Structures are given as structure tokens and as C-alpha cells.
Chains A and B, each alone.
Chain A
Amino acid sequence: MPGASLMEELRQLWRMRALLAVMTRRELAARTAGAAGGLLWLWAPPVLTVAAYFLIFDVVFGMRLGAHAPTDRVGTFLVVGVLAWSAFADATQRAMMSLVDAGGMLQKNPLPPVLFPARAALASAAVFVPLLVLLVLLYAPMHHFRLAVLGVAAMAAAQLVLGFLLGYLLAIMAAALRDVIQLVGVLLSLGVFLSPILFPLTMFPERWRPLLWLNPMTAPVLGYQSALLRGEWPPLAVWAVIGVWMLLLTLALGVAVQRSRDQLVDWL
């Protein structure tokens, strides 16, 4: 039964949660090992990127969006989607590479493969969640600290799960065929245009809009925009689409884990 293998892996992941925490901390430390700035370099690039968006579009050019947008300021709008997308792309890409990168370790240590994409997704979350908290503190005054802003936490949790499921699925596929890595790199570059990140959903031509739902981040981005820009709980449709994506990815991952479990390490 396909789901049984995945469930067993998830149970193993829970049993080895202490090791997972150690591995996540080490992953973060390894990214900046040898740098004088240390862990600061984990946060500096995304902070500087979103700060640049804000300064250029809102302060320097003072660009404005149309009436149906969740906010009229372009920079403020872009920061929400770009940060969420950066977190998603980072988690997905690192999780996808995690098994190929850990091939040597998996061939010498009896560790469950699921540890590695989970570590990548958690390490990515450790970088981006503090930035989302910062964003909440900066945006909450716009709508007088409404409770709905807490919807960001639910979106972040959903995004973490989506990033892990998709990243692990892609990691198995990348182990089978390395071309997957190149293909996903291209898709992540294009994905930012196929989502309501650079433009509000209302600005997309109506006949093209259904295409946006092929991007697993469309619903979370709409959820973030709703909570941060409007101070409203993400609409039901957003939750429904996220649920469908999770279900589909879980099923696909269950099948992939089942079909690859006896040979995954050989592929690495």
C-alpha cells in the first residue's frame, strides 16, 4: 500500500526528531561556516532584497496599483509575495537537492532518507519565519493589529508542509533522473510570473487566471496578501486549494516512496 511506506518514514522522522533538530542547526551553520558575519548572512540577502523593493517602488518612484489591488502601494504589495515565494523556492530547491547531496552519507549510515528533505525544509523555515514575523510587525499597524494577521502563521505552516512534500517528491525524482534538477530550476524562475506575486490576481486576464492555480504557491500567496495587506483571514477558497495541493502531493509522494524505497540509495 503506497501510503504505508510514507507513514513509516514519517514515524521514523518523529522518532528521530532530536537528530533532525541537530541536523537542521548544522545545516544552517554549514551555510555560513567560515564567514565573519556568521549566521547574519542567512537573513541579510532576503532582508536586503525586500528592502530594495520597498525603497525603489514605494519611496523612490512612489508607484501605485489599481483600485482592486489589496493595497495601492506597489512595493508593499511586492514584498509580501516575493518573501513568500523566496521561502518556497529556497525550501523546494534545497529539499530537492538534499538526497543527491547526502548520497555519500546515506550509503554509509543507516539513516531514513526522509531526514534530509525535512532538514532542508526546516532550515529554510528557520530563515524565513523570523522574516515573516518581522513583516507582521511592520504591516499589522496598517489595519490596527487585527487578529486576522495571525493567518500568516497558518499560511507559513501550510507552506512548510507544501515545501517539504514537493521537495521530497522532487528529491526522489532527481535521484532517479538528474535532469529534474535543471527542469525545476527553470520552473521556479518562471513560477514567480505564474502567480499573484508581481501583479494582483485581478490584473491577470480572466481567461488565463485558472493557470495560476497550477502553481502550488498561488493560494498561500493570496492568503498572505489577505492577512497582511487587508487584515482579513485567508478566504475559504485559499484553504481549499492548499488542501487539494497537500492531498495530491501526499498521494504522489506516497507512491514515489513506495516505488523507490528499496533502490533509492542505489540511485544516489
Chain B
Amino acid sequence: MSATGSTTEADNAPLRLEGVGKAYRLYDSPRARLKSLLTGRDLHHSHWALRDVSLELRRGQCLGVVGHNGAGKSTLLKLITGTLQPSTGKVLRRGRVTAILELGAGFHPDFTGRENLYFGGNLIGISREEMARLEPQVLAFAEIGEAIDRPVKTYSSGMVVRLAFALVTAVEPDLLIIDEALAVGDQRFQKKCIERIEAFRRNGCTILFCSHSPYHVRHLCDVALWLDGGQVQRIGPTEAVLLAYETHTRLSAASGHQAAEASAQASEALIVPTEDVAATLDSVPRDVSHPPVLADAGSAAIVSVQLESLQDPEPGSHEPALLAAPDLVAQIVVRGVGDECPNIGFMIEQSKGVGITSIASHEEGAAPQRQPDGTWKSVLTFPDLPLHSGEYVVSVYLFDASGLVVYDQWYQFLHFRFVAPTRMPGLVRLPHQWS
């Protein structure tokens, strides 16, 4: 990052932060705020949301910003986009900056899509003439059709975000800021969005990506910044930063203070499931004999997951099913989009503890097999399951071909017991040898 840039590169860096800090002034009451405004007296106490952040992003770099809620990520993004002013330090931007934040939030419901398009363009520095030139490609990307001349209040939420995304990305920026999840339209449109962002990146656009999802930061970013309590904990190559961040998260979770938060963060993704899928996930049963049923049969989804050799517990028992074999074999059937070969992820965690392993077909070049009925199937085998005795839970994920778009997820949908042939304590039996 900053240390490696030459003087010329530094001068042309799309983004440079020098000792940036932001303190929010907190007042005991709005009356105290007005009193301070009128008299000039300091009646506030400061809350430092961000302290002493320095970094430099060169052209084409992608920085992932991770951290828990309240770490200062949103404040950092607002300072970089310019909606907030820093209390200390300097934010130096160069070139066009585009922020994908709350898409469509500025649209006026009574105006047509086209009117909102031109006004929105003005707000982000696209003149009327330029927008007239860009309009055909924006409309083609947004797939709005003739609805462009209807008031936005008649649009579905998906249409609004599609139009807004097409608008803000109509002109390739020098710096693209992406905040959290991108729930943009249906699965097919989500994929288009990711492809456009990837194309920007290939063209040399600098990207700042703020996420709770280490998975996506790992896949998208070459450098990462971990913020904690408004301060930089680590900054540098993605893997090293994420390792430190995940270790910290797990230690926190293990201490019991942030267990719930850590669990939620582990499951969050850059592309969240569509509303239909999300609604279905709410009702995901914990029993493999009652697999989730998707409302939208036309979209990509996990169709079934079967774990072999599971022995049902005694009637009335609250224990999960017992894995009655040394191997863990999972048969996973999914539905893809068209002819695209999807990818499958699988995760094992302790039922009331930490994650143990996660595996994805695109990481290992193990593409699912096409079935005669058009679905895709993978059989995942853990021979001689190297776990100690305990209760475990599995999750299954369905990705697109690139592994970036999460089409569907069955999160912690099946618990099982495993009895290991050892009385030694532990979690995982690592490969080893005595000599």
C-alpha cells in the first residue's frame, strides 16, 4: 500500500488518507446543541468514531474493510465519499468517486424513472447531455423497458435498485465504494452487478469494499483494513489481516461476549439472497427429512442435501441424529441458472462452538455433475471423519460460477452427533506420525 508507492504513483493515487479522525460531538440534549450554536460554548463531549487512519490506495487496488459493528467502517466510508468532514487529518480523492450505498434512496416516487435518472445523474456530476448519451446503455442494463416513463412509485423494489445501480455505475469511476451487502434485484441481475464491478476492477478502477463477510473480502480484495473501536488494528495483505481479524472474532466469541455477533458475521455475504429465498430461509427446518422448499422454482437454489448413515435418535430424545459411520458423506443437489455450472460450499461447525472447516467446490476445482433432469449434484466425502466426539452442525451454500454470488444458503440446517473411536479430548484429529 502506501509504503510501496513511488512519488508519481502517490501523486496520482485515487485515494489517500492522512491521519484521518472523526469525532462526533454529543450533547446532553438538543437544547444544549442550540445553546452551543448560539453562544459558541463547548457543551459537548466527543465520541471518536475514527482515529488516525492513514492509507493510500493505488489505481486498481481493492481494499476490503472489515470490523465489528461500531468499528468505524461506515464513518470511514462517509468521510471518503465526502458526506462527513474529518475532525483531524486529510482525505485526498482524485478522479470520479462513486459510492454504492443505499441504492434508489434519492428517487422521487412521483417522478418517472427517466426524470429520476436525469436528476440523479446531475447529483453525481453527469450533465444532461452526457446522460442523454448514456441513457440507452443505462436502460439496457437496468432492464426497465417501457416502465422508464412511469412514476417510480409504481416500480417494484427490484426495479428501483436496478435503475439506481445502472445509474451510479453508468460512468466508470476512479474509486468505487461499496458498502455491505448488495441486494440488487434478482439473482441474474446480482450477477450482472458483480460482473460490472469486476470489469471496473480489471480496467484499473480502485475499489473500497466494506463488508462483514471475510469470504468476500478474501475473494475480491488484495489488501484489507481491520478497524476496531475506530482504530486501525491491522492493514496489509488480505490474508494476514483476515487471519488476525478472524482469530480475534473467534476468541471474542469463545469468551462468550460476542458469540451471537460472530456467528451472524460468518454467514453474511456480499450478495444476499433475494427476498423469496430470504423468506424461505426463515423457515428452514433443522431436520434433514424436511428440506426447505423454495417459493421461486425458477431461480438457482439448493434442492436437497442428504447426509448418509444418520441414525435417528430415540423417540423423545433431544439429542441430534447420530452419524453411524466413520465417513461423513453428503449428497448435495442444486439447481443452477441456465447452463452455468454452479459451485457448492459446505461448512462444519461445533453445534455450540467454533467453526471447524469450510469447503467450496470452486476452491478445489471440483465442479458438480450435471444430472439428466438439469440439476447439479456433488457428493462430498470426509473419509474417516477426523473429529472428536461431539455435536456438530452443517451449512450448505450455493454459489455462481465465479464463487462470488451466493444464490442460496441453508445455514446451520442440520445438527448431528459423532462418536469418535478415541477417548482423548480434542476437536480435530490432525494427520500425524510418531517416530
Given contacts A22-B119, A173-B34, A256-B37, contact A265 B83 (CB under 8 A): yes
Given contacts A255-B40, A266-B25, contact A177 B34 (CB under 8 A): yes
Is the Cβ of B81 less than 8 Å from the Cβ of A33?
no
Given contacts A30-B110, A33-B110, A178-B30, contact A108 B83 (CB under 8 A): yes
B90 within 8 A of A: no
A141 within 8 A of B: no
Rounded to whole angstroms, the CA-CA distance of A210 and B83 in the bound complex is: 45
Residue interface mask A208-248, B partner, CB < 8 A = 1: 00000000000000000000000000000000000000000
> B108: which A residues are within 8 A, CB to CB?
26, 30, 33
Rounded to whole angstroms, the CA-CA distance of A256 and B34 in the bound complex is: 10
Q: Which of B78-127 contact A (CB under 8 A)?
A: 78, 81-85, 87, 99, 101-102, 105-106, 108, 110-111, 119, 122-124, 127
A111 within 8 A of B: yes
A261 within 8 A of B: yes
Is the Cβ of B110 less than 8 Å from the Cβ of A34?
yes
> B37: which A residues are within 8 A, CB to CB?
172-173, 176, 256, 259-260
Is the Cβ of B25 less than 8 Å from the Cβ of A110?
no
Is the Cβ of B30 less than 8 Å from the Cβ of A176?
yes
Rounded to whole angstroms, the CA-CA distance of A267 and B24 in the bound complex is: 10
Of A62-70, A73-81, A99-107, which stretch is located at the interface?
A99-107
Rounded to whole angstroms, the CA-CA distance of A121 and B44 in the bound complex is: 32
B31 within 8 A of A: yes
Contact among B33, B87, B105, B119 with A267 in the assembled complex (CB-CB below 8 Å): B33
Rounded to whole angstroms, the CA-CA distance of A22 and B120 in the bound complex is: 11
Q: Which of A107-156 contact B (CB under 8 A)?
A: 107-111
Residue interface mask B362-400, A partner, CB < 8 A = 1: 000000000000000000000000000000000000000
Contact among B34, B83, B111 with A30 in the assembled complex (CB-CB below 8 Å): B111
A7 within 8 A of B: no
Rounded to whole angstroms, the CA-CA distance of A29 and B84 in the bound complex is: 30
B36 within 8 A of A: yes
Rounded to whole angstroms, the CA-CA distance of A180 and B84 in the bound complex is: 24
> B151: which A residues are within 8 A, CB to CB?
34
Q: CB within 8 Å of B: which residues of A? A: 18-19, 22-23, 26, 29-30, 33-34, 104-111, 172-173, 176-180, 255-256, 259-263, 265-267
Query: Could you list some 30 contacts between A and B, CB below 8 A?
Result: A19-B122, A22-B122, A26-B111, A30-B108, A30-B111, A33-B108, A34-B151, A104-B105, A105-B105, A105-B106, A108-B101, A109-B83, A110-B81, A110-B82, A110-B83, A172-B37, A173-B37, A176-B33, A176-B34, A177-B30, A177-B33, A177-B34, A180-B34, A259-B36, A259-B37, A259-B40, A260-B37, A261-B85, A262-B87, A263-B25
A-B contact sample (19 more), CB < 8 A, given A26-B119, A176-B37, A262-B85: A19-B123, A22-B122, A30-B110, A105-B106, A108-B83, A108-B99, A108-B102, A173-B37, A176-B33, A177-B30, A177-B33, A178-B30, A179-B30, A255-B40, A256-B37, A262-B25, A263-B25, A266-B25, A267-B33
